[in-house]
Structure 1
Protein backbone atom coordinates (compact mmCIF):
# COMPACT_ATOMS: atom_id res chain seq x y z
CA UNK A 1 0.00 0.00 0.00
CA UNK A 2 1.43 3.36 -1.06
CA UNK A 3 1.45 6.54 1.03
CA UNK A 4 -1.09 8.02 -1.39
CA UNK A 5 -3.41 5.06 -0.85
CA UNK A 6 -3.16 5.47 2.91
CA UNK A 7 -3.83 9.21 2.70
CA UNK A 8 -6.85 8.54 0.50
CA UNK A 9 -8.12 5.89 2.91
CA UNK A 10 -7.98 8.22 5.93
CA UNK A 11 -9.19 11.15 3.78
CA UNK A 12 -6.18 13.28 4.75
CA UNK A 13 -7.64 16.36 3.01
CA UNK A 14 -10.40 16.57 5.62
CA UNK A 15 -7.90 16.65 8.50
CA UNK A 16 -7.09 20.31 7.88
CA UNK A 17 -10.55 21.32 9.10
CA UNK A 18 -9.85 19.55 12.40
CA UNK A 19 -7.39 22.29 13.33
CA UNK A 20 -10.11 24.99 13.44
CA UNK A 21 -11.72 23.83 16.73
CA UNK A 22 -8.25 23.12 18.13
CA UNK A 23 -7.20 26.73 17.52
CA UNK A 24 -10.46 28.00 19.00
CA UNK A 25 -9.81 25.86 22.06
CA UNK A 26 -6.36 27.40 22.54
CA UNK A 27 -7.66 30.94 22.10
CA UNK A 28 -10.60 30.40 24.46
CA UNK A 29 -8.47 28.85 27.22
CA UNK A 30 -5.80 31.55 26.92
CA UNK A 31 -8.33 34.37 26.88
CA UNK A 32 -9.95 33.00 30.03
CA UNK A 33 -6.48 33.35 31.66
CA UNK A 34 -5.66 29.66 32.07
CA UNK A 35 -2.26 28.11 31.46
CA UNK A 36 -1.73 25.90 28.41
CA UNK A 37 -0.03 22.54 29.05
CA UNK A 38 2.10 22.01 25.89
CA UNK A 39 2.78 18.25 26.15
CA UNK A 40 -0.79 17.33 27.08
CA UNK A 41 -2.07 19.62 24.33
CA UNK A 42 0.21 17.95 21.76
CA UNK A 43 -0.96 14.49 22.80
CA UNK A 44 -4.55 15.67 22.54
CA UNK A 45 -3.99 17.07 19.03
CA UNK A 46 -2.54 13.72 17.92
CA UNK A 47 -5.50 11.87 19.45
CA UNK A 48 -8.00 14.13 17.67
CA UNK A 49 -6.29 13.61 14.31
CA UNK A 50 -6.20 9.83 14.85
CA UNK A 51 -9.89 9.85 15.83
CA UNK A 52 -10.78 11.77 12.66
CA UNK A 53 -8.76 9.31 10.55
CA UNK A 54 -10.49 6.43 12.35
CA UNK A 55 -13.90 7.91 11.49
CA UNK A 56 -12.90 8.44 7.84
CA UNK A 57 -11.53 4.90 7.49
CA UNK A 58 -14.66 3.45 9.09
CA UNK A 59 -16.66 5.46 6.56
CA UNK A 60 -14.68 4.01 3.63
CA UNK A 61 -15.11 0.45 4.91
CA UNK A 62 -18.85 0.89 5.59
CA UNK A 63 -19.51 2.44 2.17
CA UNK A 64 -17.53 -0.33 0.46
CA UNK A 65 -19.63 -2.99 2.19
CA UNK A 66 -22.89 -1.14 1.54
CA UNK A 67 -22.09 -0.73 -2.16
CA UNK A 68 -21.26 -4.43 -2.43
CA UNK A 69 -24.53 -5.50 -0.79
CA UNK A 70 -26.58 -3.19 -3.00
CA UNK A 71 -24.56 -4.13 -6.11
CA UNK A 72 -23.69 -0.51 -6.88
CA UNK A 73 -20.83 -1.58 -9.15
CA UNK A 74 -19.55 1.87 -10.17
CA UNK A 75 -19.20 3.04 -6.57
CA UNK A 76 -17.82 -0.34 -5.43
CA UNK A 77 -15.08 -0.46 -8.08
CA UNK A 78 -14.26 3.16 -8.86
CA UNK A 79 -15.62 5.75 -6.42
CA UNK A 80 -14.89 4.17 -3.04
CA UNK A 81 -11.26 4.43 -1.92
CA UNK A 82 -10.97 0.66 -1.36
CA UNK A 83 -11.87 -0.01 -4.98
CA UNK A 84 -9.84 2.92 -6.32
CA UNK A 85 -6.56 1.98 -4.70
CA UNK A 86 -7.05 -1.78 -4.53
CA UNK A 87 -6.70 -1.72 -0.74
CA UNK A 88 -8.09 -4.88 0.77
CA UNK A 89 -10.86 -4.58 3.32
CA UNK A 90 -8.76 -6.62 5.75
CA UNK A 91 -5.89 -4.11 5.51
CA UNK A 92 -8.32 -1.22 6.00
CA UNK A 93 -9.72 -2.88 9.13
CA UNK A 94 -6.19 -3.33 10.53
CA UNK A 95 -5.44 0.35 9.93
CA UNK A 96 -8.78 1.34 11.45
CA UNK A 97 -8.13 -0.73 14.56
CA UNK A 98 -4.60 0.66 14.91
CA UNK A 99 -5.88 4.23 14.80
CA UNK A 100 -8.49 3.47 17.46
CA UNK A 101 -5.81 1.82 19.62
CA UNK A 102 -3.69 5.01 19.44
CA UNK A 103 -6.70 7.12 20.41
CA UNK A 104 -7.45 4.90 23.41
CA UNK A 105 -3.79 4.78 24.49
CA UNK A 106 -3.39 8.57 24.39
CA UNK A 107 -6.79 8.95 26.03
CA UNK A 108 -5.70 6.81 28.99
CA UNK A 109 -2.55 8.91 29.41
CA UNK A 110 -4.58 12.14 29.35
CA UNK A 111 -7.13 10.65 31.72
CA UNK A 112 -4.53 9.95 34.39
CA UNK A 113 -3.04 13.43 33.96
CA UNK A 114 -6.29 15.41 33.98
CA UNK A 115 -9.87 14.59 35.00
CA UNK A 116 -12.30 11.68 34.82
CA UNK A 117 -14.73 13.99 33.04
CA UNK A 118 -12.53 13.54 29.99
CA UNK A 119 -13.53 9.86 29.94
CA UNK A 120 -17.13 10.77 29.17
CA UNK A 121 -16.20 12.96 26.20
CA UNK A 122 -13.66 10.40 25.01
CA UNK A 123 -16.10 7.48 25.07
CA UNK A 124 -18.78 9.59 23.42
CA UNK A 125 -16.34 10.76 20.73
CA UNK A 126 -15.19 7.21 19.93
CA UNK A 127 -18.78 5.95 19.82
CA UNK A 128 -19.86 8.71 17.45
CA UNK A 129 -16.75 8.22 15.27
CA UNK A 130 -17.70 4.56 14.81
CA UNK A 131 -21.49 4.77 14.58
CA UNK A 132 -21.30 7.81 12.32
CA UNK A 133 -20.81 5.49 9.33
CA UNK A 134 -21.24 2.00 10.77
CA UNK A 135 -23.77 -0.03 12.71
CA UNK A 136 -27.39 -0.87 11.81
CA UNK A 137 -28.33 2.81 11.32
CA UNK A 138 -25.26 5.00 10.67
CA UNK A 139 -25.65 8.60 11.82
CA UNK A 140 -24.45 9.85 8.42
CA UNK A 141 -27.46 8.21 6.74
CA UNK A 142 -29.89 10.21 8.89
CA UNK A 143 -30.88 13.90 8.90
CA UNK A 144 -28.70 14.42 11.99
CA UNK A 145 -25.31 13.89 10.34
CA UNK A 146 -24.44 17.58 10.02
CA UNK A 147 -25.34 18.61 13.55
CA UNK A 148 -23.65 15.56 15.09
CA UNK A 149 -20.52 16.14 13.01
CA UNK A 150 -20.36 19.85 13.84
CA UNK A 151 -21.09 19.39 17.54
CA UNK A 152 -18.68 16.49 17.99
CA UNK A 153 -15.69 18.14 16.32
CA UNK A 154 -16.59 21.78 16.84
CA UNK A 155 -17.79 21.62 20.45
CA UNK A 156 -16.53 18.27 21.74
CA UNK A 157 -12.92 19.06 20.84
CA UNK A 158 -13.07 22.44 22.58
CA UNK A 159 -14.70 21.01 25.71
CA UNK A 160 -12.08 18.25 25.88
CA UNK A 161 -9.30 20.79 25.41
CA UNK A 162 -10.73 22.87 28.25
CA UNK A 163 -10.76 19.83 30.54
CA UNK A 164 -7.10 19.15 29.74
CA UNK A 165 -5.93 22.67 30.54
CA UNK A 166 -8.41 24.07 33.08
CA UNK A 167 -8.48 22.94 36.75
CA UNK A 168 -11.67 21.07 37.69
CA UNK A 169 -12.25 23.63 40.46
CA UNK A 170 -13.04 26.17 37.73
CA UNK A 171 -15.62 23.97 36.00
CA UNK A 172 -19.10 25.49 36.19
CA UNK A 173 -22.18 25.67 33.99
CA UNK A 174 -21.72 29.28 32.86
CA UNK A 175 -18.11 28.56 31.87
CA UNK A 176 -19.13 25.73 29.57
CA UNK A 177 -22.04 27.86 28.34
CA UNK A 178 -19.61 30.56 27.24
CA UNK A 179 -17.50 27.88 25.53
CA UNK A 180 -20.60 26.74 23.63
CA UNK A 181 -21.16 30.22 22.20
CA UNK A 182 -17.45 30.63 21.47
CA UNK A 183 -17.57 27.35 19.53
CA UNK A 184 -20.18 28.64 17.08
CA UNK A 185 -17.75 29.21 14.22
CA UNK A 186 -16.07 25.78 14.22
CA UNK A 187 -19.40 23.99 14.84
CA UNK A 188 -21.14 25.63 11.87
CA UNK A 189 -18.11 25.67 9.57
CA UNK A 190 -17.59 21.92 10.04
CA UNK A 191 -21.32 21.22 9.74
CA UNK A 192 -21.28 23.02 6.39
CA UNK A 193 -18.53 20.75 5.11
CA UNK A 194 -20.76 17.76 5.79
CA UNK A 195 -23.80 19.54 4.37
CA UNK A 196 -21.94 20.50 1.18
CA UNK A 197 -20.79 16.91 0.83
CA UNK A 198 -24.36 15.63 1.13
CA UNK A 199 -25.68 18.24 -1.31
CA UNK A 200 -23.13 17.08 -3.88
CA UNK A 201 -23.73 13.38 -3.14
CA UNK A 202 -27.53 13.36 -3.38
CA UNK A 203 -27.60 11.00 -6.38
CA UNK A 204 -24.97 8.70 -4.87
CA UNK A 205 -26.75 8.69 -1.49
CA UNK A 206 -29.97 7.70 -3.22
CA UNK A 207 -28.28 4.69 -4.86
CA UNK A 208 -26.77 3.67 -1.51
CA UNK A 209 -30.11 4.26 0.29
CA UNK A 210 -28.68 6.93 2.58
CA UNK A 211 -31.33 9.39 3.78
CA UNK A 212 -29.47 12.53 4.77
CA UNK A 213 -31.03 15.88 5.57
CA UNK A 214 -30.76 16.77 1.86
CA UNK A 215 -33.00 13.81 1.03
CA UNK A 216 -35.68 15.13 3.39
CA UNK A 217 -35.64 18.86 2.68
CA UNK A 218 -34.29 18.84 -0.89
CA UNK A 219 -31.26 20.48 -2.47
CA UNK A 220 -32.80 23.96 -2.68
CA UNK A 221 -33.63 24.17 1.03
CA UNK A 222 -30.31 22.55 1.88
CA UNK A 223 -28.51 25.30 -0.01
CA UNK A 224 -30.48 27.92 1.94
CA UNK A 225 -29.47 26.18 5.17
CA UNK A 226 -25.86 26.16 3.96
CA UNK A 227 -25.92 29.95 3.48
CA UNK A 228 -27.77 30.52 6.76
CA UNK A 229 -25.12 28.56 8.66
CA UNK A 230 -22.43 31.00 7.55
CA UNK A 231 -24.54 33.97 8.64
CA UNK A 232 -25.27 32.37 12.02
CA UNK A 233 -21.58 31.49 12.37
CA UNK A 234 -20.58 35.15 12.31
CA UNK A 235 -23.46 36.19 14.56
CA UNK A 236 -22.24 33.76 17.25
CA UNK A 237 -18.67 35.00 16.83
CA UNK A 238 -19.63 38.66 17.25
CA UNK A 239 -21.78 37.81 20.28
CA UNK A 240 -18.89 35.85 21.83
CA UNK A 241 -16.60 38.87 21.40
CA UNK A 242 -19.19 41.32 22.79
CA UNK A 243 -19.76 39.08 25.83
CA UNK A 244 -15.99 38.86 26.33
CA UNK A 245 -15.77 35.11 25.71
CA UNK A 246 -13.34 35.60 22.84
CA UNK A 247 -10.76 38.36 22.23
CA UNK A 248 -11.61 41.22 19.88
CA UNK A 249 -8.78 40.15 17.56
CA UNK A 250 -11.03 37.25 16.49
CA UNK A 251 -13.02 39.79 14.49
CA UNK A 252 -10.20 39.52 11.96
CA UNK A 253 -12.09 36.50 10.63
CA UNK A 254 -14.65 38.97 9.24
CA UNK A 255 -12.12 39.53 6.45
CA UNK A 256 -13.14 36.17 5.01
CA UNK A 257 -16.74 37.29 4.40
CA UNK A 258 -16.26 38.56 0.80
CA UNK A 259 -14.52 35.34 -0.22
CA UNK A 260 -17.09 33.12 1.50
CA UNK A 261 -19.86 35.14 -0.14
CA UNK A 262 -18.42 34.70 -3.65
CA UNK A 263 -17.74 30.99 -3.18
CA UNK A 264 -21.21 30.42 -1.72
CA UNK A 265 -22.77 32.06 -4.80
CA UNK A 266 -20.73 29.74 -7.02
CA UNK A 267 -21.74 26.72 -4.98
CA UNK A 268 -25.42 27.72 -5.24
CA UNK A 269 -25.11 27.69 -9.04
CA UNK A 270 -23.05 24.51 -9.39
CA UNK A 271 -22.92 21.89 -6.63
CA UNK A 272 -20.89 19.05 -8.04
CA UNK A 273 -18.42 17.07 -5.91
CA UNK A 274 -15.58 17.19 -8.42
CA UNK A 275 -15.97 20.89 -9.23
CA UNK A 276 -17.33 22.94 -6.35
CA UNK A 277 -17.15 20.94 -3.11
CA UNK A 278 -13.63 22.30 -2.70
CA UNK A 279 -15.13 25.80 -2.31
CA UNK A 280 -16.43 24.86 1.15
CA UNK A 281 -13.02 23.51 2.09
CA UNK A 282 -11.47 26.80 0.95
CA UNK A 283 -13.92 28.71 3.14
CA UNK A 284 -12.81 26.67 6.14
CA UNK A 285 -9.14 27.14 5.24
CA UNK A 286 -9.65 30.92 5.14
CA UNK A 287 -11.21 30.82 8.60
CA UNK A 288 -8.40 28.56 9.81
CA UNK A 289 -5.70 30.89 8.49
CA UNK A 290 -7.31 34.02 9.96
CA UNK A 291 -7.84 32.27 13.31
CA UNK A 292 -4.18 31.28 13.32
CA UNK A 293 -3.20 34.90 12.58
CA UNK A 294 -5.45 36.04 15.43
CA UNK A 295 -3.74 33.59 17.79
CA UNK A 296 -0.27 34.79 16.77
CA UNK A 297 -1.21 38.47 17.11
CA UNK A 298 -2.81 37.87 20.48
CA UNK A 299 0.31 36.19 21.82
CA UNK A 300 2.67 38.75 20.29
CA UNK A 301 0.82 41.93 21.20
CA UNK A 302 -1.71 40.83 23.83
CA UNK A 303 -4.82 41.77 21.86
Structure 2
Protein backbone atom coordinates (compact mmCIF):
# COMPACT_ATOMS: atom_id res chain seq x y z
CA UNK A 1 0.00 0.00 0.00
CA UNK A 2 1.56 3.31 -1.09
CA UNK A 3 1.18 6.90 0.07
CA UNK A 4 -1.38 7.81 -2.61
CA UNK A 5 -3.58 4.88 -1.62
CA UNK A 6 -3.54 5.94 2.03
CA UNK A 7 -4.43 9.53 1.11
CA UNK A 8 -7.26 8.25 -1.07
CA UNK A 9 -8.48 5.99 1.73
CA UNK A 10 -8.48 8.91 4.17
CA UNK A 11 -10.35 11.02 1.57
CA UNK A 12 -8.05 13.97 2.21
CA UNK A 13 -10.24 16.49 0.38
CA UNK A 14 -12.88 16.19 3.14
CA UNK A 15 -10.48 16.72 6.07
CA UNK A 16 -10.84 20.49 5.84
CA UNK A 17 -14.31 20.04 7.35
CA UNK A 18 -12.73 18.85 10.59
CA UNK A 19 -9.59 20.98 10.67
CA UNK A 20 -11.37 24.33 10.17
CA UNK A 21 -13.41 24.13 13.44
CA UNK A 22 -10.20 23.37 15.38
CA UNK A 23 -8.49 26.47 13.99
CA UNK A 24 -11.55 28.65 14.49
CA UNK A 25 -12.28 27.48 18.04
CA UNK A 26 -8.63 27.90 19.04
CA UNK A 27 -8.18 31.39 17.59
CA UNK A 28 -11.53 32.56 18.94
CA UNK A 29 -10.57 31.37 22.42
CA UNK A 30 -7.39 33.41 22.10
CA UNK A 31 -9.29 36.48 20.84
CA UNK A 32 -12.25 36.39 23.22
CA UNK A 33 -10.81 34.82 26.38
CA UNK A 34 -7.05 35.37 25.90
CA UNK A 35 -6.45 31.64 26.32
CA UNK A 36 -4.82 29.19 23.92
CA UNK A 37 -2.71 26.07 24.49
CA UNK A 38 -0.43 25.19 21.57
CA UNK A 39 0.04 21.59 22.71
CA UNK A 40 -3.73 21.05 22.82
CA UNK A 41 -4.02 22.75 19.43
CA UNK A 42 -1.54 20.36 17.78
CA UNK A 43 -3.07 17.30 19.45
CA UNK A 44 -6.56 18.37 18.41
CA UNK A 45 -5.49 18.73 14.78
CA UNK A 46 -4.03 15.21 14.85
CA UNK A 47 -7.09 13.76 16.59
CA UNK A 48 -9.63 15.36 14.27
CA UNK A 49 -7.75 14.19 11.17
CA UNK A 50 -7.76 10.64 12.55
CA UNK A 51 -11.46 10.81 13.48
CA UNK A 52 -12.57 12.33 10.18
CA UNK A 53 -10.51 9.81 8.23
CA UNK A 54 -12.00 6.94 10.23
CA UNK A 55 -15.51 8.27 9.60
CA UNK A 56 -14.80 8.42 5.86
CA UNK A 57 -13.48 4.86 5.98
CA UNK A 58 -16.55 3.61 7.87
CA UNK A 59 -18.81 5.19 5.27
CA UNK A 60 -16.83 3.71 2.37
CA UNK A 61 -16.64 0.31 4.11
CA UNK A 62 -20.39 -0.08 4.47
CA UNK A 63 -21.15 1.46 1.06
CA UNK A 64 -18.85 -1.09 -0.53
CA UNK A 65 -20.39 -3.98 1.41
CA UNK A 66 -23.86 -2.88 0.32
CA UNK A 67 -22.74 -2.61 -3.29
CA UNK A 68 -23.50 1.11 -3.42
CA UNK A 69 -20.06 2.04 -4.80
CA UNK A 70 -19.57 0.71 -8.32
CA UNK A 71 -16.99 1.10 -11.09
CA UNK A 72 -18.05 4.76 -11.54
CA UNK A 73 -16.30 5.54 -8.27
CA UNK A 74 -13.13 3.58 -8.96
CA UNK A 75 -11.05 6.77 -9.17
CA UNK A 76 -11.99 7.93 -5.65
CA UNK A 77 -12.77 4.71 -3.74
CA UNK A 78 -9.85 2.40 -2.94
CA UNK A 79 -12.11 -0.53 -2.10
CA UNK A 80 -13.74 -0.34 -5.52
CA UNK A 81 -10.34 -0.19 -7.24
CA UNK A 82 -9.15 -3.11 -5.06
CA UNK A 83 -6.17 -1.14 -3.76
CA UNK A 84 -7.02 -2.26 -0.21
CA UNK A 85 -9.03 -5.05 1.34
CA UNK A 86 -11.94 -4.83 3.80
CA UNK A 87 -9.66 -6.23 6.49
CA UNK A 88 -7.06 -3.51 5.93
CA UNK A 89 -9.77 -0.84 6.14
CA UNK A 90 -10.97 -2.30 9.46
CA UNK A 91 -7.41 -2.12 10.82
CA UNK A 92 -7.09 1.54 9.76
CA UNK A 93 -10.43 2.41 11.36
CA UNK A 94 -9.55 0.75 14.67
CA UNK A 95 -6.04 2.28 14.70
CA UNK A 96 -7.36 5.80 14.03
CA UNK A 97 -10.06 5.50 16.68
CA UNK A 98 -7.66 4.19 19.34
CA UNK A 99 -5.05 6.92 18.79
CA UNK A 100 -7.74 9.62 18.73
CA UNK A 101 -9.24 8.24 21.96
CA UNK A 102 -5.82 8.25 23.66
CA UNK A 103 -5.37 11.91 22.68
CA UNK A 104 -8.89 12.76 23.88
CA UNK A 105 -8.28 10.98 27.19
CA UNK A 106 -5.08 12.94 27.76
CA UNK A 107 -6.74 16.27 26.99
CA UNK A 108 -9.72 15.35 29.19
CA UNK A 109 -7.40 14.48 32.08
CA UNK A 110 -5.89 17.96 31.81
CA UNK A 111 -9.15 19.86 31.32
CA UNK A 112 -12.50 18.13 31.89
CA UNK A 113 -13.81 14.60 31.43
CA UNK A 114 -16.80 16.19 29.72
CA UNK A 115 -14.60 15.91 26.65
CA UNK A 116 -14.91 12.11 26.70
CA UNK A 117 -18.71 12.38 26.56
CA UNK A 118 -18.37 14.51 23.44
CA UNK A 119 -15.96 11.97 21.95
CA UNK A 120 -18.37 9.12 22.73
CA UNK A 121 -21.26 11.01 21.14
CA UNK A 122 -19.16 11.73 18.05
CA UNK A 123 -18.18 8.07 17.80
CA UNK A 124 -21.84 6.99 17.94
CA UNK A 125 -22.79 9.51 15.24
CA UNK A 126 -19.95 8.34 12.97
CA UNK A 127 -21.28 4.77 13.24
CA UNK A 128 -24.94 5.70 12.78
CA UNK A 129 -24.02 7.84 9.79
CA UNK A 130 -23.11 4.76 7.75
CA UNK A 131 -24.44 1.74 9.69
CA UNK A 132 -27.79 0.39 10.78
CA UNK A 133 -31.18 -0.26 9.20
CA UNK A 134 -31.45 3.42 8.17
CA UNK A 135 -28.03 5.12 8.07
CA UNK A 136 -28.06 8.92 8.36
CA UNK A 137 -26.28 9.11 5.01
CA UNK A 138 -29.35 7.51 3.41
CA UNK A 139 -31.67 10.27 4.63
CA UNK A 140 -32.09 14.03 3.96
CA UNK A 141 -30.62 14.70 7.42
CA UNK A 142 -26.98 14.13 6.53
CA UNK A 143 -26.20 17.82 5.92
CA UNK A 144 -27.88 18.89 9.16
CA UNK A 145 -26.24 16.21 11.30
CA UNK A 146 -22.75 16.78 9.88
CA UNK A 147 -23.12 20.55 10.19
CA UNK A 148 -24.25 20.43 13.81
CA UNK A 149 -21.82 17.78 15.05
CA UNK A 150 -18.72 19.01 13.23
CA UNK A 151 -19.48 22.72 12.92
CA UNK A 152 -21.00 23.54 16.29
CA UNK A 153 -19.87 20.42 18.18
CA UNK A 154 -16.17 20.58 17.36
CA UNK A 155 -15.83 24.38 17.43
CA UNK A 156 -17.50 24.82 20.82
CA UNK A 157 -15.60 21.87 22.30
CA UNK A 158 -12.26 23.21 21.08
CA UNK A 159 -13.06 26.64 22.52
CA UNK A 160 -13.98 24.97 25.81
CA UNK A 161 -10.74 22.95 25.89
CA UNK A 162 -8.65 26.11 25.59
CA UNK A 163 -10.74 28.45 27.75
CA UNK A 164 -12.98 26.32 29.98
CA UNK A 165 -15.94 28.37 28.70
CA UNK A 166 -19.07 27.13 26.95
CA UNK A 167 -21.93 29.56 26.41
CA UNK A 168 -24.35 30.93 23.83
CA UNK A 169 -21.66 33.12 22.26
CA UNK A 170 -19.39 30.14 21.51
CA UNK A 171 -22.35 28.37 19.90
CA UNK A 172 -23.31 31.38 17.76
CA UNK A 173 -19.71 31.74 16.63
CA UNK A 174 -19.87 28.23 15.16
CA UNK A 175 -23.08 28.68 13.13
CA UNK A 176 -21.41 29.87 9.87
CA UNK A 177 -18.98 26.95 10.04
CA UNK A 178 -21.89 24.59 10.66
CA UNK A 179 -23.64 25.84 7.53
CA UNK A 180 -20.44 25.58 5.51
CA UNK A 181 -19.81 21.97 6.56
CA UNK A 182 -23.39 21.10 5.65
CA UNK A 183 -22.72 22.65 2.25
CA UNK A 184 -19.70 20.37 1.76
CA UNK A 185 -21.95 17.34 2.07
CA UNK A 186 -24.59 19.01 -0.10
CA UNK A 187 -21.94 19.47 -2.80
CA UNK A 188 -20.99 15.81 -2.55
CA UNK A 189 -24.59 14.60 -2.65
CA UNK A 190 -25.43 16.83 -5.62
CA UNK A 191 -22.67 15.14 -7.58
CA UNK A 192 -23.81 11.65 -6.53
CA UNK A 193 -27.55 12.04 -7.18
CA UNK A 194 -27.75 9.39 -9.91
CA UNK A 195 -25.64 6.90 -7.97
CA UNK A 196 -27.51 7.57 -4.72
CA UNK A 197 -30.91 7.19 -6.38
CA UNK A 198 -29.85 3.85 -7.82
CA UNK A 199 -28.66 2.76 -4.36
CA UNK A 200 -31.98 3.66 -2.74
CA UNK A 201 -30.71 6.65 -0.84
CA UNK A 202 -32.98 9.59 -0.02
CA UNK A 203 -30.38 12.34 0.32
CA UNK A 204 -31.30 16.00 0.58
CA UNK A 205 -30.76 16.76 -3.16
CA UNK A 206 -32.99 13.80 -4.08
CA UNK A 207 -35.60 15.09 -1.63
CA UNK A 208 -35.47 18.73 -2.80
CA UNK A 209 -34.58 18.22 -6.45
CA UNK A 210 -31.48 19.42 -8.28
CA UNK A 211 -32.50 23.05 -8.86
CA UNK A 212 -33.74 23.63 -5.31
CA UNK A 213 -30.59 22.02 -3.95
CA UNK A 214 -28.44 24.37 -6.02
CA UNK A 215 -30.50 27.31 -4.74
CA UNK A 216 -29.95 26.09 -1.17
CA UNK A 217 -26.21 25.83 -1.87
CA UNK A 218 -26.10 29.46 -3.07
CA UNK A 219 -28.24 30.60 -0.11
CA UNK A 220 -25.86 28.92 2.34
CA UNK A 221 -22.85 30.64 0.77
CA UNK A 222 -24.57 34.05 0.97
CA UNK A 223 -25.44 33.29 4.60
CA UNK A 224 -21.73 33.16 5.42
CA UNK A 225 -21.63 36.89 4.68
CA UNK A 226 -24.86 37.73 6.48
CA UNK A 227 -23.96 35.73 9.58
CA UNK A 228 -20.54 37.38 9.71
CA UNK A 229 -22.28 40.75 9.78
CA UNK A 230 -24.69 39.53 12.49
CA UNK A 231 -21.81 38.25 14.63
CA UNK A 232 -20.16 41.66 14.24
CA UNK A 233 -23.36 43.43 15.35
CA UNK A 234 -23.56 41.07 18.34
CA UNK A 235 -20.01 42.14 19.24
CA UNK A 236 -18.68 38.58 18.84
CA UNK A 237 -16.43 39.55 15.95
CA UNK A 238 -14.26 42.65 15.56
CA UNK A 239 -14.70 44.86 12.48
CA UNK A 240 -11.44 43.53 11.07
CA UNK A 241 -13.09 40.14 10.44
CA UNK A 242 -15.79 41.56 8.17
CA UNK A 243 -13.24 43.71 6.36
CA UNK A 244 -10.94 40.76 5.57
CA UNK A 245 -13.89 38.55 4.57
CA UNK A 246 -14.99 41.22 2.08
CA UNK A 247 -11.46 41.40 0.66
CA UNK A 248 -10.73 37.67 0.40
CA UNK A 249 -14.04 36.01 -0.39
CA UNK A 250 -14.06 34.15 -3.77
CA UNK A 251 -17.07 35.91 -5.27
CA UNK A 252 -16.90 34.13 -8.62
CA UNK A 253 -17.42 30.76 -6.92
CA UNK A 254 -21.20 31.10 -7.03
CA UNK A 255 -21.33 31.80 -10.77
CA UNK A 256 -18.76 29.04 -11.38
CA UNK A 257 -20.90 26.62 -9.38
CA UNK A 258 -24.01 27.43 -11.40
CA UNK A 259 -22.26 27.23 -14.77
CA UNK A 260 -22.19 23.45 -15.24
CA UNK A 261 -24.16 20.24 -14.66
CA UNK A 262 -23.43 18.45 -11.38
CA UNK A 263 -22.55 14.78 -11.80
CA UNK A 264 -20.02 12.18 -10.76
CA UNK A 265 -17.85 13.37 -13.67
CA UNK A 266 -17.76 16.97 -12.38
CA UNK A 267 -17.58 16.06 -8.70
CA UNK A 268 -13.93 17.04 -8.33
CA UNK A 269 -14.70 20.50 -9.70
CA UNK A 270 -17.65 20.93 -7.34
CA UNK A 271 -15.62 19.87 -4.31
CA UNK A 272 -12.79 22.23 -5.30
CA UNK A 273 -15.24 25.15 -5.43
CA UNK A 274 -16.73 24.48 -2.00
CA UNK A 275 -13.26 23.81 -0.60
CA UNK A 276 -12.00 27.14 -1.91
CA UNK A 277 -14.97 28.97 -0.37
CA UNK A 278 -14.42 27.38 3.03
CA UNK A 279 -10.69 27.92 3.10
CA UNK A 280 -10.81 31.56 2.02
CA UNK A 281 -13.77 32.45 4.23
CA UNK A 282 -12.33 30.88 7.38
CA UNK A 283 -8.84 32.13 6.59
CA UNK A 284 -10.34 35.63 6.38
CA UNK A 285 -12.08 35.18 9.75
CA UNK A 286 -8.91 33.90 11.38
CA UNK A 287 -6.77 36.70 9.90
CA UNK A 288 -9.35 39.24 11.08
CA UNK A 289 -9.25 37.82 14.61
CA UNK A 290 -5.44 37.79 14.62
CA UNK A 291 -5.34 41.44 13.47
CA UNK A 292 -7.58 42.35 16.38
CA UNK A 293 -5.45 40.32 18.81
CA UNK A 294 -2.24 41.97 17.62
CA UNK A 295 -3.43 45.58 17.36
CA UNK A 296 -6.07 45.80 20.05
TM-score, length of structure 2 as denominator length: 0.91
Residue in structure 1 matched with residue 117 of structure 2 by the alignment: 120
2:284 paired with 1:290: yes
Residue in structure 1 matched with residue 256 of structure 2 by the alignment: 266
Q: What displacement does 1:77 show?
A: 5.6
Choose which of 137, 160, 165 in structure 2 pairs with 1:163.
Answer: 160
Q: What displacement does 1:62 show?
A: 1.5
1:210 partner SS = coil
Q: Which aligned pairs between 1:49-198 and structure 2 lie closer than 5 A? A: 49-67=49-67, 73-75=70-72, 80-167=77-164, 170-171=165-166, 176-198=167-189
> Contact 1:143–1:211 (CA<8 Å) still a contact in 2?
yes
Give the direction of change, closer, same or farther, for the CA distance of 1:77–1:40 in structure 2 (3 Å limit).
closer
- Deviation per residue, 1:178-226 (Å, 9 max, x gap): 1222112211111111101111110011122211011111011111111
CA RMSD in angstroms, aligned pairs only: 2.0
Q: Distance in 1 between matches of 2:287 and 2:162?
A: 22
> Contact 1:118–1:163 (CA<8 Å) still a contact in 2?
no
Residue in structure 1 matched with residue 210 of structure 2 by the alignment: 219
Aligned residues: 291
Residue in structure 2 matched with residue 253 of structure 1 by the alignment: 245
2:272 paired with 1:281: no
> Contact 1:154–1:190 (CA<8 Å) still a contact in 2?
yes
2:277 partner SS = helix
Q: Distance in 1 between matches of 2:74 and 2:174?
A: 39
- Deviation per residue, 1:233-280 (Å, 9 max, x gap): 2222211122111222221112344x24x2222222312314433211
Mind listing any 5+ residue stretches in structure 2 that lack a counterpart? none
2:7 partner SS = helix
> Contact 2:8–2:77 (CA<8 Å) still a contact in 1?
no
